[in-house]
Amino acid sequence: KKEQRRSRMINLASIRTLDRIRKEGNAVLVFPAGTRYRPGISESKKGVREINSYIRISDVMMLVSINGNCLRFSDTPNDMLSDVLHNDRIIMAASPVYDTKAFREESLEWAGDKAEDKKQAVVDYVMHNLEIMHEENEVGRLG
């Protein structure tokens, strides 16, 4: 309970800051998984539920795919501080600009009746679209 309360307080502070920055006319980059994907650690590929709140308070958004890996995992994959710097080809791609209200509605259509948690359905749809972008760009990066 104490950890959940702390998490809610952090999320609320983040939303307030994001809203202030947005109202000042600035763009904000948010990583929906909260971390880099780490092979073999499936939870690192799941988007965090709070992303729905960030989308909800915004008018428009873009998805950005970053392909490549200049930080290779060490022998202790749970310790990001031990990652090793490595040369790699990095490709970044951006989606079209989405109207966030339409995107959220589209995500619920995509999830269909299986959407018990509508907030998580929005986040899952973000991650689904990022995965499609990633797969398309990976072909160009490796080719």
Positive or negative torsion for Cα 14, 65, 88, 39: positive
Region label for 3, one of left (φ > 0), alpha (ψ between -120 and 50) or beta (otherwise): alpha
Residue 5 lies in a domain: no
Considering the domain boundaries, does residue 114 fall inside one?
Answer: yes
Low-confidence ranges of the chain (pLDDT < 50): none
Counting the structural domains of the chain, the total is: 1
> What is the per-residue pLDDT for 40?
67
- Token output for 130: 């990022």
Global confidence as pTM: 0.79
pLDDT of residue 113: 81
* Cβ proximity of 83 and 71 under 8 Å: yes
pLDDT for position 108:
93
- The span from the CA of 104 to the CA of 20, in Å, is 22
Domain that holds residue 128: 28-142
- Please tell me the predicted confidence (pLDDT) of residue 37: 66
Q: What is the pLDDT of residue 96?
A: 95
62: in domain: yes
**Can you read off the two tokens belonging to residue 19?**
């809203």
Q: What is the pLDDT of residue 10?
A: 84
In a domain, 6, yes or no: no
